[in-house]
Amino acid sequence: MLFRSNLTIYINDPQNIALTTIGGWKYFSGGNRGVVVYRKGQSEFMAYERTCPYKPEEPSSMVEVDTSNNIFLIDRSCNSQFLLSDGSNISGAALIPLRSFVTIFDGTMLRVTN
């Protein structure tokens, strides 16, 4: 069972330079164990819960961006891998994708919510 939480994050701060280019990503607090936001296109963003869907109740069940290639998220405790572009699982113990959040971008501000 996945943990559920209400979430709304507003991102319009110049400190978020990592999100200004396509392929950029950044961690934010919120959700159960945090949220990762990824810029997929000029005006398209993706946001995922960092809690791995495999044994989400375990404290170590958390994904992080694999910085060796920046296209995967990995949970090192169960070796599950997910695509950063859509959250789908591609290997490991997890059988379902990461929980995704709704992203709304108005050209200036990004809103991440469920």
Q: What is the pLDDT of residues 77-111, one digit of tens each?
A: 999 999 999 999 999 999 999 999 999 998 888 99
Give the bridge partners for 11, in sequence order.
110
Q: What's CA 32's distance to the chain center, in Å?
A: 12
Q: Provide the Cα torsion 44, 46, 47, 49; round to 10°.
A: 170
pLDDT score of 107: 86
Residue type, 48: Y
pLDDT band per the 50, 70, 90 thresholds, residue 12: confident
Residue 28 burial (CB < 10 Å; 0-12/13-18/19+)?
middle
CA distance linking residue 12 with residue 4, whole number of Å: 25
The answer to whether the pTM exceeds 0.75 is: yes
